[in-house]
Amino acid sequence: MKTVWCLLFCDDDDDKPREECGVVGIFGDPEASRLCYLALHALQHRGQEGAGIVAVNNNVLQSVTGVGLVSEVFNESKLDQLPGEMAIGHVRYSTAGSSMLKNVQPFVAGYRFGSIGVAHNGNLVNYRALRAMLEDNGSIFNTSSDTEVVLHLIAISKARPFFLRIVEACEKLEGAYSMVFVTEDKLVAVRDPHGFRPLVMGRRSNGAVVFASETCALDLIEATYEREVYPGEVLVVDKKDGVQSVCLMPHPEPKQCIFEHIYFALPNSVVFGRSVYESRHAFGEILATEAPVDCDVVIAVPDSGVVAALGYAGKAGVPFQQGLIRSHYVGRTFIEPSQKIRDFGVKLKLSPVRGVLEGKRIVVVDDSIVRGTTSSKIVRLIKEAGAKEVHMRIASPPIIGSCYYGVDTPSSEELISNRMSVEEIREFIGCDSLAFLPFESLKKMLGSESPNFCYACFSGKYPVMPREVKVKRVGDFLDDGLNGPMDSIDGGWIQGPRDLNIEKEIDPLYQKSNI
């Protein structure tokens, strides 16, 4: 069974970390669900496995969710089922919870004080402990997602008014969460005290309030960016009081995910108060300065390497050209279990331009290397197109640790930089030279904001202790229903490993926060 899993489900042609999801919330617009739909299109890059919208009409929460892309889940008739001036939406890529319909958010639940819907971006590192506690007290779970825990914690809270129940629930959570909630009359936005995942607020010209994971969603629906939701902040929106910042939970130094700027966010977004485009351009300039090489052409691995490649080319004074053309119409390539056939996966997605590459010394800029399998195929593709030399430049430091805060990364054992030196990786990939963005140079570029970012994937130092380690298992890819042992339907969570010596490497921030 293990061999079949590798052949069928390890999509090494998509050898990138994956963002877990994106969220959006809209209050005060008669077209709330349709605007939500458009905003989710802008956030589609953050999750392609499922999508959903919950709208409120006459104090009733109505939901439409489905597996697939936003355009596959929704159509005109589905959106007609979601009238009202308030809505929340979600696009999903699963890390916690299997890839099945019942785990697609937003979740809606009824409890003694009414109905509530929630959409969550992030990952709770104490999910199993919370779920066990709730089940011991009689809670019944319908999904295998960590987000459902939040609804149960709100339901058992006796705090009044409503927003204090959310605060009380969040005080029990550890890890990453940017969430939007909806009730019969309120929209609530919450961000975890470390601010791992982004969440921004904007406003449309008619006064409608919008929350979203990225500013690109605000731009699409013509909402003006106002500010971030602060780490630890709870914002409540209703007709009576408008937007209220009702709580700022005790929060240590922010630990914002650096990978939002390296890979996840779109270049036209402003994330954590910084332009993603400008960050990536600067990464390329640093590589050109600190790892120069004689070359004729600079190319990018599209699409996420393009801006860094432009920065490299501009600084090096070398032409940037499109040496690889990306097809946007190819899905994941695990249908055919023959490895010989699967090797065509990269060729389906990336086509070399021989006229740009033949006889040239090429610098190839990519955003990251995870397992190294895709990079080796790209180098081979470029050399087969006649390139004289191929030099890889990576616009991030080497990834040596898994993420536990809402990003789907392989186990540490699978991360090539965790088990090989740069020279060994270069030999494995087959390029003529290889250089990563120096970690210290990255922090220097961020300047005074450097301490506000999480670098756990580069350093192995975790701001919040990853007590439970998430891994994908075969059961995660099966259809709805019980397949195999019970733990295969709760995301395949296991106890955190002791051999990583994580306790010894915990960031002093964690020790200060007493979480």
Residue 4 lies in a domain: no
CB atoms closer than 10 angstroms to residue 394: 28
Same domain, 316 and 172: no
Whether the pLDDT of residue 192 is over 50: the answer is yes
Whether the pLDDT of residue 404 is over 70: the answer is yes
At 7 the pLDDT is: 27
* 256 against 337, higher pLDDT: 256
Encode pLDDT of 356-367 as tens digits. Answer: 999 999 999 999
Same domain, 222 and 365: no
DSSP for residue 263 = I
Which sequence positions are flagged as catalytic? 21
CA end-to-end distance (rounded Å), the chain: 39
Question: Do 52 and 25 meet the contact criterion of CB atoms below 8 Å apart?
Answer: no
Residue 286 lies in a domain: yes
At 465 the pLDDT is: 75
Residue 53 lies in a domain: yes
Residue 510's pLDDT band, with cuts at 50, 70 and 90, is very low
Residue 107's domain spans which residues?
A: 18-252
Query: To which H or E segment does residue 134 belong?
Result: helix 127-136
Encode pLDDT of 475-491 as tens digits. Answer: 232 222 222 232 332 33
At 420 the pLDDT is: 95
Q: Select from 415, 430, 453 the last residue of a domain.
A: 453
At 487 the pLDDT is: 34
Encode pLDDT of 96-142 as tens digits. Answer: 445 577 789 999 998 888 899 999 999 998 989 999 999 998 888 88
Residue 191 lies in a domain: yes
Residue 213 lies in a domain: yes
Same domain, 245 and 289: no
The number of CA neighbours under 13 Å toward the Cβ of 513 is 23
Residue 391 lies in a domain: yes
At 349 the pLDDT is: 85
Residue 27 lies in a domain: yes
Q: Select from 252, 283, 314 the last residue of a domain.
A: 252
Question: Do 267 and 273 meet the contact criterion of CB atoms below 8 Å apart?
Answer: no
Of 35-49, 448-462, 485-499, which gets the smallest average pLDDT?
485-499
Same domain, 97 and 129: yes
Encode pLDDT of 9-33 as tens digits. Answer: 334 445 665 556 899 999 999 999 9
CB proximity list for 107: less than 8 A, separation 6 or greater? 117, 118, 119, 143, 145, 147, 148, 151
Same domain, 296 and 157: no
343 - beta bridge partners? none
* 398 against 159, higher pLDDT: 398
**Residue 366 marked in a binding site:** yes
The tokens describing 256, both together, are 């914002």
At 337 the pLDDT is: 42
Q: What is the domain-level CATH number for residue 23?
A: 3.60.20.10
Mean pLDDT across 147-169: 90
Residue with tokens 């402990």: 129
**Residue 367 marked in a binding site:** yes
**Residue 36 marked in a binding site:** no
Amino acid identity of residue 18, one-letter, is R
Whether the pLDDT of residue 196 is over 50: the answer is yes
At 281 the pLDDT is: 98
Amino acid identity of residue 200, one-letter, is V
Same domain, 239 and 298: no
Same domain, 287 and 355: yes
At 469 the pLDDT is: 54
Same domain, 32 and 159: yes
Q: Select from 453, 472, 496 the last residue of a domain.
A: 453
Same domain, 244 and 304: no
Encode pLDDT of 55-108 as tens digits. Answer: 999 999 999 999 999 999 999 999 999 999 999 999 987 544 455 777 899 999
DSSP for residue 320 = B
Residue 232 lies in a domain: yes
Q: What is the domain-level CATH number for residue 315?
A: 3.40.50.2020
Whether the pLDDT of residue 387 is over 80: the answer is yes
What average pLDDT does the structure give for the chain? 84
Mean pLDDT across 235-243: 95
Whether the pLDDT of residue 301 is over 60: the answer is yes
At 12 the pLDDT is: 41
Mean pLDDT across 290-294: 97
Whether the pLDDT of residue 156 is over 60: the answer is yes
- Look at residue 12 and give its three-state secondary structure: helix
Determine whether 109 is exposed, middle or buried from the number of CB atoms within 10 Å of its CB (0-12, 13-18, 19+): middle
Residue 407's pLDDT band, with cuts at 50, 70 and 90, is confident
Report the interhelical angle of 147-156 vs 127-136 (nearest 10°).
40
DSSP string, 395-461: SSPPP-S---SSEE---GGG-HHHHS-HHHHHHHHT-SEEEEPPHHHHHHHHGGGGGGEE-HHHH--
At 508 the pLDDT is: 32
**Residue 304 marked in a binding site:** yes
Same domain, 184 and 282: no
Q: How many domains would you assign to the chain?
A: 2
Same domain, 225 and 289: no
Residue 258's pLDDT band, with cuts at 50, 70 and 90, is very high
Same domain, 211 and 285: no
**Residue 94 marked in a binding site:** no
Nearest to 394 by CA among 263, 226, 199: 263
| Cis amide bond preceding 161, omega within 30 | yes
